[in-house]
Structure 1
Amino acid sequence: MTLTLTRRAALGGAAALPLAAAATPILAAGHGGKAEAPIAHTFKLGDMSVTTLLDGSAMREGPKEMFGAAASDEEFAQVSAENFIPADTLQFYFTPTVIDTGAELVLFDTGLGQGGIGKALDAAGVSPDAINVVVITHMHPDHIGGMMTDGAPTFPNARYVTASAEYNFWSKMEAGNRVGDMVANLVTPLAEKMEFIDDGASVAPGVTSVASFGHTPGHMCFMLESGGRQLLLTADLANHYVWSFARPDWAFSFDASPEDAAASRRKVLGMLAADKIPMIGYHMPFPAAGYVEPRDDGFRYVPVSYQLMG
């Protein structure tokens, strides 16, 4: 796939910053300091342990402008009503994932940088010092915000992995670009410990990169395989469990290249549906895991219940 970049590539990520800033961890003020709802959920994939981490959540208004700007108000309202959700508000979730391959602990994305991932890791019984590998699916602020804490690496013993196209794009931004500045402050200081990969790279035992460019210039999904089973970490391939599936060709306002992002959605979601492979999506309703089935000219997201428990 040839990525067609426009000025949106530089501005789209910056536009996402208010969304990230608005997110707050779902944590209790009472209940003895315990979470009101689970913030870590573990699945089994063969011999691999896969834990989703709720870093935060945010309610937003005006979803049509983000997910269906080119659609008519009537069509957007109809798709929403058919799937039992309001057309004027949405709930965003921010969900990094940590896996135990048996040989390494691998963390995918570091969250908003507001402390939620630390609480979720603690709930999962994982210390930041124990993380062996940090994989960055792409460099929007809600995925790199937790890389540093008080000027020091949050995960001090980890090596880092990201797409070469992704880092090359954002690291060359002139000063003043908000995402570029975040990359300079949070990612570049760790570049010497970073491996830059392309499509099909093995980043840890049972973990392979899958190019899905469009949301950003080097956006990657990651296929997990263990015991003859597969699961795809889709990152921001699809950013809402209804609109991005039911109408995969609708442009998402934070996509760098809407046409390429739509092509990636159709290709990857089609593969998941055809092969019945489960997925974990960064912005799916927590615990963020589900299946994909064909529906009309698009798809339907089906949350897991107990299928991945053993």
Structure 2
Amino acid sequence: ADRQVFNVVLPLIRADLALTDQAMGLIATTFTAVYGILVPFAGMAGDLIDRRKVVFLSLVVFSLGTLLTGVASSFLLLLLFRGVATGAGEAFYSPAAASLIGSAHERTRARALSIHQTANYTGIVLGSLVAGWVGQTWGWRAAFLVFGVGGLAWSVLLYVRARHFILPERHGPSNCSIPTEEPGLHRGQFSEALRLVLTTPALLGQLLAFGGLVFVIVGFLTWSPTLLYERFRLSLADAGCFSVFYHHLLAYVGVVGAGWATDRLIDKWPRVRLYAMAFGLIASGPCIWWGAQTTNLSELYIALALFGLFRGIYDSGIFAAIFDFVDDR
């Protein structure tokens, strides 16, 4: 939800601080760049430190970044608080969280991670709706303050609950030819992980495919609320909500359905998750093109919904498929 606040109130920030589209785009790009650069280090942190602490600290950092974005008075402060601080905080969440969930759910791994992915969808949709309503009612700064305070409160609750969670034992994957070693040996060695990725075609393909999807998703989430607000004259709340609602509604169906199906088929077809991901990614292309070309609002919603369905099929394996080739260390 925090990630989408900026995108929904972008027109208000741009007008209030007299910024250009290029400046707003640079802030979003900086967020993504910081996120991408720090993710490998986040994975190393999850190997070296208690993953529960990594998740908690990531929530604190990106919630503080969101809170401080609400008091930013210049482009540079926006770039620092939104682009750097929030991006850095969010980078450390996914590796540790996915590792915890994947280790705790072996036979139902894709389903468990798919359900976790639906939280991302729900947060984006509800966050867009709330941010749009708060922004048009009390201003864009209030939207960041609401989500920043809410995130800090949630991090405290998570910390209290996570203390009672027993960390699962780490073990080897079903499709990995590399023998599993005792936990603690070579932990956090970045060179070992990099070598594994570069010498395993399935992992390298996932890396390139995910990079392509993120390239599209960042542009979609950043500018689609503004597109509906300015081109189709929707209110800020409606633009924020409907720019992502139909997309993520069908994504629910895709991610949960594909997660359930691939869990059932994985023993018979060990690469079924990769095939499902490839299908979802390829099928998304025409939907994106259709949505970008149409001038009809209903057609745009249909295109975004179909994009969401196929994107959900792809998302069902983004973490589970990695566990098929990499041991839990």
The interval holding the TM-score normalised by the smaller chain is under 0.3
Which structure features the higher share of helix residues?
2
Provide TM-score, normalisation by structure 2: 0.25
Provide TM-score, normalisation by structure 1: 0.26
Which structure features the higher share of strand residues?
1
**Which structure would you say has the larger Rg?**
2
